[in-house]
Amino acid sequence: MVQYVVRRLLIFIPVLFVVATVTFFLIRLAPGGPFSSEKAVSDEALRQIEAQYDLDAPLFAQYGKYLWNLLHGDLGPSLKRPNRSVIEWILLKFPVSIELGLYGLLVALCLGLPAGILAAWRQNTSTDYAVMSVAMIGICVPNFVLGPLLVYVFAIRLGWLPVALWEIPSDKILPAVTLGAVYAAYIARLTRASLLEVISQDYVRTARAKGLSEPRVVLAHGLPNALQPVVAFLGPAAAGLLTGSFVVENIFGVPGLGSEFVNAALNRDYTMIMGTVLVFAVLVMLFNLAVDLVQAWLDPRLRYE
């Protein structure tokens, strides 16, 4: 296992190199620049500002200098807010995004797993049809539609929950539900399909023949093996929860890294965009590695190859 983890971590290096290279050139191909929209700035002052950040150098010279600084752990200063470095902004905002992502994942698991188990347990009944119908609606409604609907119902009409705050637990309910609802629907459908396949196996029928109760047969004998597809889905889901937080953070005014990335993209803050993309790339790869390890732990038949 140690060799497998080391190999996977070494693969991160070329992947991050490709991500950094593609992102560097793509954001510079976009029209405009970080200082092109500044008001009341003369051409001479603009040239001096660009020279201060080496933006007047040839593109490949800028690229080489950025890679050199990146190898030394320096992501540079934020071009629009130079009072702090990119690393300082990330350390300030990133914990909020991680917290929101964890809440969203908790919502997805707490809603999706019981719904999928209930639907499989009551297969082809009205309960099954109702649960799967709600799950299908959850898959079809994107979070940028669900978020405003939840705000209108629970914040504006009913006045139960606040909006655009991130202080007390009640402030985090609507963003977490908005972020996790879609993935709860996917998990419910995956759990149902996998559990129905597992409970038709011979060893489950043997457990029933021994006189075990149906809840014990389903939960103790069927569910552990049925979780394999769900665990495999959690890697991309965790990545989706983090990237999906870009929209949710802007809808609910959450002071996380997602909203910071959107502002950086609008303001052409090159260094902030690069730093945010690299951080999320590392997280996605770490999530996928963790999922592979959990899968191997759940299923001893898997090998680290």
Residue 23 has pLDDT above 70, yes or no: yes
Own/partner long-range contacts of 22-28 (Cβ < 8 Å, ≥24 apart): 23/273, 23/274, 23/277, 23/278, 24/63, 24/66, 24/274, 25/59, 25/63, 27/268, 27/270, 27/273, 27/274, 28/59, 28/270
The class of domain 87-298 in CATH terms is mainly alpha
Note the pLDDT of residue 110: 92
Residue 34 has pLDDT above 60, yes or no: yes
The domain spans of the chain are 2-71, 87-298
Residue 305 has pLDDT above 60, yes or no: no
* Spatial separation of the C-alpha atoms in residues 177 and 94, rounded to whole Å: 20
* Spatial separation of the C-alpha atoms in residues 196 and 199, rounded to whole Å: 5
- Look up the pTM and report it: 0.77
The pLDDT-based confidence of 130 (bands split at 50, 70, 90) is very high
Residue 249: count other Cβ atoms within 10 Å of its Cβ.
Answer: 25
Q: What's the distance, CA 245 to chain centroid? A: 7
Per residue in 170-203, pLDDT (tens digit) is 888 999 999 888 899 999 998 888 888 887 777 7
**Among the listed residues 147, 148, 154, 181, the one whose alpha carbon sits nearest the alpha carbon of residue 170:** 154
Evaluate whether 92 touches 164 at the Cβ level (below 8 Å). Answer: no
Estimate the crossing angle of helix 59-71 against helix 2-29, to 10 degrees: 150
Helices and strands (DSSP H and E) totals, the chain: 12, 0
